[in-house]
Each structure stands twice: as C-alpha cells, then as structure tokens.
Amino acid sequence: MNVDLSTSYMGLQLKNPVIIGASRLTGNVESILNLEKNGAAAVVLKSLFEEQILMDIDNQRMNNIFDSYSDVENYIGFYTKQNSLNNYLKLIKDAKTQTKIPVIASINCDSNGEWIEFAKKIENAGADALELNIFILPSDPEKTGEEIEQTYFDIIKSVKSVVNIPIAVKMSYYFSGFANFATRLSNTGINAMVFFNRFFSPDINIKTQKVGSGNLYSTPEENSMVLRWTGILANKLECDLAASTGIHDGKAVIKNLMAGANAVQMVSGLYLNGVGDLVIVLQEIEKILSENNFTSIKEIIGIANKEKITNPQAYQRAQFMKYFSDSGK
C-alpha cells in the first residue's frame, strides 16, 4: 500500500515528517546535501548565537569610533566575527540554492536586544523560516518566573516586527506553569513550537572533582517527557508543534505524531547511527503505517492526543503508586 508521508509544519510543506535539528550535522552545505539525499524533509541550521551577533555590532561601533582598522586587535576581532555572520548568511544562501528542502535558520538567544535586527538579514538571505532557541536558565534567585516569561514575549514581538518568515520557538521545560505559558506563547502569532531543546548537562568526575559535561547525545528514554507534553498540549496550542529529543527510530516518530506533533526533529540518533539511518527510519514509518492500515501521515497526527483518548489521565499520571498497585509489584 502506498503511504503518503507528507505533512505541513509552520506553513512549510514537508515530504515527510523528519526534520534534522540544529547541530553540526546541518552546519555545512555538503552535510545538508547528504541529509537531503538520505530523505530529510527539512533542516534547521546550526544556531548562530546572540553573542556572536552582538560582538559584531560592537565591532562595527568600535570601527566607527576609530574610523580605521589601525587597532590590529580590533581588526582581527572585526574580521573573524564579521566572517562568522557572513558565513552564516552564505550557508543559508548556498543551502537554498543547492537543495530543494526547506531551510530553517536558528538563533540561540536569551534577551531582547540589538541582535534582533540580524533576523532581517537571515530572511533576506532566503531562509524559509527562523527557529528561536530561547533559553533562560531560571538560576537567578532575584529573577521571577514572570520576568523570564516576559522576555520570551518581548523577543517574539521584536523578531516578528522585523521578519515575515514563519517563526518557531524551541522551548525549554523549566517553567512552573508550563501549560499556561505555552498556550499563551502560542497565541503571539508564532508558527510553531519545538518541544524540547536538550541542554548540556553537568557531570562530576569523582576522582578529580572536576565538573564537565554529561552525555552529549540523548537516549530514547528521554522522549517520554516530550510525548507527555505533546499529548497534553498539541491540541491546545494555536501553532504547530515539532517534537524533539530522544527520537531515534521510526516508531518514536509515529508515537510523537500520534500524540499531536506535526513533525519531528532528529539529531542524536543520526550522530549515533549515521546519517544513512534516516533511510531506515523513513522505511520503518512507511511499513508501520501500512501494516496498521493508515494511508497517510495526516491520519495519525493527534490520534492519541489527550483530547482523543479514553484515558487522558495517562498523560497526567506522575506518581508510580497506581502502576505498582495495578501490577502487583
């Protein structure tokens, strides 16, 4: 049976639901071409950081003050930073001219500031959409949750005032009233949310007591949190949703779509298994849908969302008590 794998995400028509998430995998055109060859529906480019853009602005100011490049250090600083921004714009242009799949640019940011003007250059370079990876770790005891949430609203408002391309917000899960915040955020005119970003996690070396980084790559188990929030919120959001974190195979893609995601993002699975694994993932999706008598991806999106199932509390259940009493363990 022929299965239609196409889906729509933030206004982009995708040939299948698998987008490659921001990472080094999407950091150069050669690699993007290889992802396309293996079936990627779209790519989110590796992120540009707010700091990189701000440094560029500072360098331009310095040059205006000195009116020349006489300060060698300043020159080098200007050249390298300018280059990284120009390289990013070139990456967008080259990816757009050499591939047929949608190219989503990405910016990591944590404040509403002068960097926002750069979003316009990203749009002009031809990006099909922009993903904002907004991350504010709520580690400052002086900062309230409300202030942190407001920063999200401010950034979105500013970016929307300079670009017309669709905007996605890659979310963190560090919010106390997550359902309330996410639904309010989805009403700001953004086109999609990504549940969730995955952060560098600290780890301690017992011998040296040095704090380093934990696992760089996700495990499939990490997807259950994404599945929970997708199942609870997808139908309540006023925008599309991409599931991300711990999606390593075709089964996981299908589960996240069934929970309500319009598309998924994959990164770690392809680092661990190689980009060629994408072909297997797509074949697996087609096979499972066919075996279960589905003819299209669209039929399964949201089929197991909280609002569609007979036991919605399954998404809410947080304590293990019932599981243990049911299972006799």
Ligand X SMILES: Cc1cc2nc3c(=O)[nH]c(=O)nc-3n(C[C@H](O)[C@H](O)[C@H](O)COP(=O)(O)O)c2cc1C
Binding stretches for ligand X (CB under 6 A): 21-24, 46-47, 106, 108, 133, 170, 197-198, 216-218, 244-247, 266-269, 271
DSSP state of 267: S
Q: Where are the beta strands (DSSP E) in the chain?
A: 7-9, 12-14, 18-20, 42-44, 48-49, 103-109, 129-134, 167-170, 192-195, 202-204, 211-213, 240-244, 263-266
Cα separation of 313 and 20, whole Å?
Answer: 32
Query: Do residues 223 and 259 make contact, with C-beta atoms less than 8 angstroms apart?
Result: no
Minimum CB distance to ligand X smaller for 3 or for 54 = 54
Minimum CB distance to ligand X smaller for 280 or for 309 = 280
Minimum CB distance to ligand X smaller for 109 or for 258 = 109
Minimum CB distance to ligand X smaller for 246 or for 250 = 246
Minimum CB distance to ligand X smaller for 78 or for 168 = 168
Query: Do residues 55 and 77 make contact, with C-beta atoms less than 8 angstroms apart?
Result: yes
**38: part of which helix (H) or strand (E)?**
none
Cβ-count burial of 12 within 10 angstroms (0-12 exposed, 13-18 middle, 19+ buried)?
buried
In whole angstroms, how close is the CB of 188 to ligand X at the nearest point?
A: 20
Cα separation of 85 and 131, whole Å?
Answer: 17
Query: Do residues 27 and 50 make contact, with C-beta atoms less than 8 angstroms apart?
Result: no
In whole angstroms, how close is the CB of 266 to ligand X at the nearest point?
A: 5
Helix (H, G, I), strand (E, B) or coil at 12: strand
The full DSSP string for 58-119 is HHHHHHHHHSSS-SHHHHHHHHHHHHHHHHHHHHHHHHHHH-SS-EEEEEEESS-SGGGGHH
In whole angstroms, how close is the CB of 246 to ligand X at the nearest point?
A: 5
Cα separation of 282 and 198, whole Å?
Answer: 23
Cα separation of 311 and 278, whole Å?
Answer: 33
Minimum CB distance to ligand X smaller for 114 or for 277 = 277
Minimum CB distance to ligand X smaller for 52 or for 151 = 52
Minimum CB distance to ligand X smaller for 170 or for 228 = 170
In whole angstroms, how close is the CB of 285 to ligand X at the nearest point?
A: 16
CA distances 33 to 7, 199, 293, 306, Å, are 21, 27, 33, 38
In whole angstroms, how close is the CB of 265 to ligand X at the nearest point?
A: 6
